[in-house]
């Protein structure tokens, strides 16, 4: 089986993501709080869309 060569850009993005998550001990709520704080500090306007309504039938979207 041929070996897969890792794209250096993908490797760098994954390393940055790993380091960022480690800063917050992989706590998703803490990461989200940091992201919101960064958004507020940036001064940019961000669009906040309404949550999607769950479709009836209880089917997973991937199985359709």
Backbone angles phi, psi at 56, to 5 degrees: -70, 160
Q: For 15-54, what is the HEC assignment?
A: HHHHHHHHHCCCCHHHHHHHHHHHHHHHCCCCCCCCCCCC
Query: Residue 61's pLDDT is what?
Result: 56
**Spans of all domains in the chain:** 7-43
Query: Residue 51's pLDDT is what?
Result: 87
Residues in the chain: 64
Give the model confidence (pLDDT) of 2-52 as tens digits: 667 889 999 999 999 999 999 999 999 999 999 999 999 999 988 888 988
């Amino acid at each position: 089986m041929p070996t897969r060569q890792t794209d250096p850009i993908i490797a760098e993005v994954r390393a940055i993501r790993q380091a960022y998550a480690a800063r917050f001990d992989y706590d998703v709520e803490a990461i989200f709080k940091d992201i919101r704080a960064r958004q507020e500090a940036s001064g940019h306007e961000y669009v906040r869309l309404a949550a999607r309504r769950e479709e009836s039938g209880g089917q997973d979207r991937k199985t359709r």
